[in-house]
Amino acid sequence: MFCSKCGKETTENSAFCAGCGASLTGGQPPKKKTQLSLAAGIIDIAAGGFSLLTLLGMVVFLFIISGVEEDMPFFIFLFPLAMLIPGVIAVVGGVFALRRRNWIVALIGSIALILTSSIPGVAALVLTVMARDEFE
């Protein structure tokens, strides 16, 4: 690609011309503000929050059952309790995505969401990766 101002050949993906310093992005600001991080954050919080409520309901249900069924093994509680952790991480990551604060935390939140709800999790992960430039 060549600089539109001075005609000097420029390296691929460079934002400014090495010869004259002109912007090579066509006058557009380098950081495009889109709504991808907002969408990712909403999915993280909504799906993560929903899975938290579901899992808490499951724990309460199992607790009630355990009152009736005396010899119910404790490990049955471990699955919903363990799944609460990625749910919390997903909600925290969603808050960071909404505020465009820390991309890594938002990314971890989306990955954690896949563990609790796969389809919204994958959608949130794709959106978070695409929204990389929106974060500080």
Q: Is 17 in the site for Zn ion (CB under 5 A)?
A: yes
Cα–Cα distance measured from residue 40 to residue 120, given in angstroms and rounded to the nearest whole number: 9
Q: Is 5 in the site for Zn ion (CB under 5 A)?
A: yes
3-state DSSP assignment of residue 27: coil
| Residue 8 near residue 17 (C-beta atoms within 8 A) | yes
User: SS3 breakdown of the chain: % helix, strand, coil, rounded to 5?
Assistant: 65, 5, 30
Q: Is 1 in the site for Zn ion (CB under 5 A)?
A: no
Q: Phi and psi at residue 10, in whole multiples of 5°?
A: -120, 160
Q: Across the strands, what pairs with 37?
A: none
| Residue 25 near residue 32 (C-beta atoms within 8 A) | no
Q: Please say which residue, 23 or 54, places its beta carbon nearer to Zn ion.
A: 23
Q: Which stretch binds Zn ion (CB under 5 A): 18-26, 36-44, 117-125, 126-134?
A: 18-26
Give the x/- contact pattern for Zn ion in 22-61, rule: CB under 5 A.
x---------------------------------------
Q: Which stretch binds Zn ion (CB under 5 A): 19-27, 48-56, 64-72, 102-110?
A: 19-27
Q: Is 18 in the site for Zn ion (CB under 5 A)?
A: no
Which residues are at the interface with Zn ion (CB under 5 A)?
A: 3, 5-6, 8, 17, 19-20, 22
